[in-house]
Structure 1
Amino acid sequence: MSNKMPTLLSRSLMLTLPLASGWAMAADLSVKFDLPQLNVAEYHKPYVAIWIERADQSVASSLALLYDVKKKDNAGEKWVKDLRTWWRKAGREATLPIDGVSGATRAAGSHTMNFNAARNGLDKLPAGEYKLVVEAAREAGGRELVKVPFNWAGKGKLAANAAGKEELGAVSLQIQ
């Protein structure tokens, strides 16, 4: 048994060493977005996708997919395709619901979602140019995409924002 202890200890140390790197120390991400109350005859809560996009426009991390997850017989999944940009980039390959990503739609108002860096793969993002992308689509309504560009240095604090015009209001991100 004592012969196995050094091996287990050295493996344990090897597994914890990467945690000391700068990338693993990446901070958490907070996304705030506004869903405006629209004065329309038939208002439905919008489906919303939130993701991080690399400079080449590929998806670095799908953060949230908000849709009618409780609809009978998974009928809410049928309309996720209306989030056209997210669907083309990441949704076609996904099996819904996505653990840790899928959630219920939100009513009109201001919403904040927090994302743990390690759980969402943000701690593995190399320094570079990225965009936070928020897409909203509403039944009997419109579709809108807001991109918030940011330069990630791999550590430190960051804040950026942008705004939509119809289906989305203000969108901001904070990395702490």
Structure 2
Amino acid sequence: MSKIAVHTTLTIALSGLLATPAYAATLDINVEVPKLNVAEYHRPYVAIWVEDADQKVAANLSVWYQHRDTAEGHGTKWLPDLRQWWRKSGRTLKVPVDGVTGPTKPVGKHALSFTGQQPQLSGLAPGEYTLVVEAAREVGGRELLKIPFTWPAKGGAQSGSAQGTSELGAVTLTVKP
């Protein structure tokens, strides 16, 4: 084989390796904020994170809170009402966090999608995890839902769901390889 043929073959082989992503896995989440028939309605604060097998925070995915100042103070004042998230991760975060924090969401279904290359999941080692969604609402209640999953999905897509009873509606999770 000539030097040109060897060089061309090596170049083609290496370019194929460079084009393959390390993790093509995705984590798709749908969170429903239900319509409540109450006299004084406030949008819920919501924290969405991933816990490892030891129930420690492995990744903060999203935190929805009020960003603007109001008569009651700045929205960060109420973040400790997301009790589980606050104890495990929230109090050590300097908010806002780019790509994680955002404004509260209105009634309806809200879709989030993350890939293994995004900062939230890039450090997630293969293994067993739990998606946790916590909601708290001023003049309202609190609710916490959990959905176990394996990262990254092996074989085909895996899915799970949980149904809230007060502050959250349906929460679904799909993990694709």
Q: Deviations over 1:42-77 (max 9, x none)?
A: 000000000011110000100000001133697001
Percent identity over the alignment is 51
Q: Deviations over 1:122-165 (max 9, x none)?
A: 24322322110000000000000000111234555221111111
Q: Who wins on radius of gyration, i.e. which is larger?
A: 2
Contact 2:25 2:175 (8 Å CA) reproduced: yes
Residues 70/125 of structure 1: CA separation in 2 closer, same or farther (3 Å cut): same
The equivalent of 2:28 in structure 1 is 30
Q: 1:131 is aligned with what amino acid?
A: T
Contact 1:19 1:25 (8 Å CA) reproduced: no
Gaps of 5+ in 1: 1-12
TM-score normalised by length of structure 2:
0.81
The equivalent of 1:119 in structure 2 is 118
The equivalent of 1:62 in structure 2 is 60
Contact 1:133 1:147 (8 Å CA) reproduced: yes
TM-score normalised by length of structure 1:
0.81
| Correspondences of 1:122-161 after superposition (within 5 Å) | 122-153=121-152, 155-156=154-155, 157-161=157-161
Contact 1:26 1:154 (8 Å CA) reproduced: no
Give the secondary-structure state (helix, strand or coil) at the position aligned to 1:55: coil
Q: 1:77 is aligned with what amino acid?
A: T
The equivalent of 1:7 in structure 2 is none
Q: What displacement does 1:32 show?
A: 0.2
Contact 1:163 1:171 (8 Å CA) reproduced: yes
The alignment's C-alpha RMSD in Å is 2.3
Q: 1:97 is aligned with what amino acid?
A: P
Give the secondary-structure state (helix, strand or coil) at the position aligned to 2:143: strand
Q: In the alignment, is residue 51 of structure 1 matched against residue 49 of structure 2? A: yes
Q: What displacement does 1:27 show?
A: 1.3
Gaps of 5+ in 2: 1-13
